[in-house]
Amino acid sequence: MIVTELSKGIKLFLLVGGRGTRLSSVTNGKAKPLVDINNKNFIDYVLENLSGFDITLVCSELNYDQFVEYEACGISVMNEGSLSGTGGFLQKVDLPESFYVMNGDTFYSGQLNLDCDESTIFVVEEKVTSDVGYIHGRDGKVQYFVEKDSGAYGKKLVSLGIYKLYRDEIELPNKLPISMEYDILPKMELSYKILKTKKFDIGTPERLQTFKDWVC
């Protein structure tokens, strides 16, 4: 369960609009977060973990019709049109003063406290190999981002794909697509918060099986 006493009711944009190409062999034409796990959509596990947020599912024209039924559950469903990157929706929606962004193909175990009062990237401290990007931080502040394939090894601060952002601190480029990771976050003054959790990203068949095994 993600616990946010101070942030109860705050907007959370859940990104579910991608193609899911690497998982196409098991999705049978469905959007990746709708893959079946024990007769339950993967995204249902994610949503149960987000009780208290005002959630908007950010879809694309590729899969909006697959998610629109969630409106009956009190969840907003946004069609951003053509795919525009992980940050493109920021140009297409009326943003509140502060909000969270999270990937819809990722589940986080344990109790996570996301309360904070400044723009923050949530990270986990773990050993990395050269194919994982990470941040360099000091005293709770992000110093810079290190891209994957940098040749670095050892214990690093790795992004969980969860962000709290403040509207007035975002500098949106005049282009599409927009990458949250490359076009938005590196230009902001960000804090970081270390969480203790196990992250399940179902981006490949192998990672999907890992989550299935964990659930069972």
Per-domain boundaries in the chain: 2-118+160-215
Q: In 66-174, where do the E strands start and end? A: 76-79, 98-103, 106-108, 112-113, 120-128, 134-138, 141-146, 154-166
Provide the whole-model pTM.
0.93
The DSSP letter of residue 161 is: E
| Confidence check: pLDDT of 21 > 90 | no
Q: Which residue has the higher pLDDT, 188 or 131?
A: 188
- Tens-digit pLDDT profile for residues 79-138: 999 989 999 999 999 999 999 999 999 999 988 889 999 999 999 998 887 667 899 999
Is domain 2-118+160-215 annotated with CATH 3.90.550.10?
Answer: yes
Phi, psi angle pair for 189, to nearest 5°: -85, 110
Q: Which amino acid is at 85?
A: G
Peptide bond into 177 cis (omega under 30): yes
Integer-rounded Cα radius of gyration of the chain: 17
